[in-house]
Copies of this chain bind each other. A is one copy, B any other.
């Protein structure tokens, strides 16, 4: 999930969300609400869901819930292939692997070329050389990791005093005189309270601005490097990486995320006296590399030219093995087409599986696809992506005309049985499908319980074991049902 999709939501929306979560938790009142809604939908316009289609959707749901196909695919992506940062051999291996699997299912596979940034992490280490009260000949280790896209320090590192600010206002107040030649630490805390309320995205949105814009803000005042407190939940001495964005008007300085514990320690020590850090970061920005979106079509029987995308992003950060971000989304989409093949169900419209490349540090996959397929955008009926992990799904969120929710209301009765009947309209959507959404294509994001998502997000701990097999299957069921429904109702979704 990218920062783009995480604009700070209002408190009212938060309350609505909590209400929605509590609804999803108790099935009986929900059952009534779902029935009432279904009745309302029926009253206002004739349902596009035939009894036959409803039966097929239940069949798909049940088969997806019982399948371990997605889980096995995820094990392979994470354990056998590993981290899949854009431009890496693992990303390429993943492209080939996914293409092979889709061909084995009998789909029409294309590798659609995408030029991607090719950033490679180097050595990274930091320690405090001088600080109040230190034992002779000792240093304090600082756990950190370079932000994606960071420039390097010299190989031998840099040494400078650390100044700590909690926000941009405090940086501005310090001014050039107190910042020049220093390493600036942005110690903005991730709001664990908001995250614990099942709304990690809002907490993320508040903090991630420092990861994106902090380094250039510090550089404008003469800082020699910038550190940001990790944007993430629980504190297990884990640094959370993620892309930074250098502004055109500022010098590019090395940038890293420090573990929350180390940010706390430096905040404490700098109140007592001078703190000097030695920092080594040796990442490299190599020339852009050729990579691919993997597309695979399950052709529709009646309107093969009309397309419903099911997708996740295949690239991941390099610290963990990209299980929740976003191997999970890719394998849910794989499961969607696999289950239809397994059940010999052919949708009226074409369901196009896409494994996007380069969501994490460039979004070149999503952008390139929207550009290359611009002439065909009117035939894209919907674009579905999951990119918020694999927590228990409660439903989905859509962009586009509010009528979409009315039309798809009969799905609530099906998805309710696995706790995922909620549907709502939103202003934005997952990153890879957002260029299509902006071009008018209704976009759908799976709506998950993401309370623990930001504990692991962009860290070394984003590994296979973090995905609950049952919850992954629940998500695959939602994506499968949603895609097949949109691909099979008589009318394409309005736009």
| Chain A interfacial positions (CB closer than 8 Å to B) | 75-76, 79-82, 88-90, 92-94, 97, 131-138, 140, 143, 234-238, 260-261, 264-265, 268-269, 272, 320-321, 455-456, 459-461, 463-466
Contacts and interface: CB of A to CB of B under 8 A. Distances in A.
A36 to B, nearest CB: 40
Given A80-B134, A82-B135, A237-B461, 9 more contacts: A80-B131, A80-B133, A93-B135, A236-B461, A237-B459, A237-B460, A261-B461, A261-B464, A261-B465
A235 to B, nearest CB: 6
16 contacts: A76-B133, A80-B132, A80-B272, A81-B133, A82-B138, A88-B138, A94-B135, A97-B133, A237-B320, A237-B459, A260-B465, A261-B463, A264-B464, A264-B465, A265-B463, A268-B464
A235 B461 contact: yes
A261 B322 CA distance: 13
Copies in the complex: 2
Nearest to A91: B135
Contacts of A79: 140, 265, 268-269
A374 B55 CA distance: 82
Nearest to A267: B79
A264 to B, nearest CB: 5
Contacts of A269: 79-80
A137 B236 contact: no
A81 B238 contact: no
Given A260-B465, A265-B463, A136 B237 contact: no
A89 B136 CA distance: 7
Contacts of A138: 82, 88-90, 93
* A76, A79, A82, A97, most chain B CB atoms within 10 A: A79
A188 to B, nearest CB: 16
Contacts of A133: 76, 80-81, 97
Contacts of A92: 135
A315 B238 CA distance: 24
A260 B238 CA distance: 15
A456 B261 CA distance: 13
A129 to B, nearest CB: 13
